[in-house]
Structure 1
């Protein structure tokens, strides 16, 4: 007899399917595609006759006014959901500092210098462009941030034969870049400070630290405490995403003998799918909805503020990262990973011009409620697409070169079933494929 039970259209997804979805969202390609889809939906929605509904939903307020949390949907996604994104970023930053590329000065030198130059040069180009055109300098920080989700997604799609060191370099660079953006948001984009609320937030962080220090387990301790820290940080006048970073840095990255994974690893594993599949896409949905009419696009290239953002992201990132890396390797003891060639670094420098999530966030903070803010958003989108296309062309060419090298090295499995290249004592260096 056939099963006559009705199917529930919006029922709970079976556990195996939930696990598969979560696993997919932990990959850069899928997370980046979800983010891209949300941005495209926002652009289409905001440029149709239904744009009024888009604005009404984005500006709809709800919350708890008595706690100072009566926010619009757009602000809830920027201040609330992005705190989860920054929590995951904080965990990744701490992992890099403890066990990753940033743990030793020798391996950290080049990507750190590249990241710093990749933030300073775009900011300087923005300032020069805005000053020359008589525009506002408030958006100097907009072109400084690289969107790690988009950048790694593009790299993941292209990279079939590119060296793994290229991804490691980009990841380390982006982690330092995120740290810079976090510091900029915390220092330069704060409203009137409420010292009592800030004191409460820091007290909550101290309790959070003690719970980790004394190995206290159980989500019922950390979830309410985390929400309280976030709310106090928001009411304290510091952007609430800083609370997420702080908690990510506090989470313990070492594993006790009776633990299968460290608290930081468990939290990252649990929250990464939500961050990539819900938090960041929803932020993009309500941040990327800008007009793309001919007149609006013309404003991007004729108004100094958005023009400065485009120049900063498309040209500033390349100049800052590539020249910073080259000069550091030329005049210091820092050395480029032998698996990489300078052509690889050039392609990666162009790829770092994809500044989406954090750039849009800083744009909103720099130009709140201003018409130029919409033009700056459009500039971020245009610059990010331009950087992604140029990087895809450059890195695809590098991928072809590496692929040809491996084919020449007889990568096809021979009689013993193992490709010859894995049986050599040494592998080809990047100089062989330059």
Structure 2
């Protein structure tokens, strides 16, 4: 099949797990014989003189990177306008492609490419397949109190209802999508994220070096990695640290990543009097992160909201014992007692108990880590995921684009923790090469 895929991030411009997903999926589809053209963007803050629109072939994928328009728009301050400008650039590049090439399907990844994906699918008169990787309501605990939140929600609603076929990365995300956007659950395909385990294996020397960089003592090393945002729950790992250090003196918590919640996280560490036991490593290159994962005695993923949890796959690929919340897709990725230990989102006592259990019985923790790694070659293998995606493409049928009303503002859903998730600062999005879950 001929596939036109659109994503707002694609290596080397990677902001989160979405970029890794799109990269691996596109290359695996191409390896299976499909013709894939990927529309993406140049780094943030560039312009057409420094980074003009370019076309390159990477692993049989034709990548078209569109230049930013000259207008002074920034992600941090003009999110919707910035997104529309990016979409306009993609539409122009897409129409140039359509002069001599016609896809069989257009595949959109998340709301930021809604406008160009819809426009190009309609211009080519082909089905629109959409993967929703997360939702604005989910990221904000159901509380969409600001105009920007509601604008993003309305674009997500439009994209979900306009798509000829929807895909989510977990059963939890299917339920969330169906509820938020008035879509029948049976009409949503669930295709997990995948991973290629080999790049996550590093030499023992590199592992020892990584451990020494954050833990000089012969004491436990805990690791959180991913975006430092409220919904990722690093604050719960910090809150658990005093109790963990009482039973395991000298234990430290390394936090690898960056994000808009970092300053508040430092304040939390001071409030719990563990600031000296918290190591902020910043964003790490792939191999350094893989080494640190392998060096950790336990990897903690305390997400309050997690559509899938590709970080759990990355930890498994590195052979790290895992303690994770059951938020969203993490509850499907981590099998409690079999491939890791689980606790309820926001349950600091449960997190503490899980970490203590790992540290008290490292042999059992190693067996669970090994089972998690073995599962990667079956349930989360990219060849099978790409083949299933191609089946969705083949089964998708073009429907007439009907006029759609503006959706009503979503209800505000309060639950424990929602107050702390409201109106948190939107993260600054760097333009470089990031490794984030």
- Normalized per residue, the structure richer in strand is 2
| TM-score range relative to shorter protein | under 0.3
TM-score of the aligned structures, taking structure 1 as reference length: 0.25
> Relative contact order (alpha carbons < 8 A, sep ≥ 6): 1 or 2 greater?
1
Query: Which is greater in Rg?
Result: 1
**Which of the two has greater helix per residue?**
1
Give the structure-2-normalised TM-score.
0.24
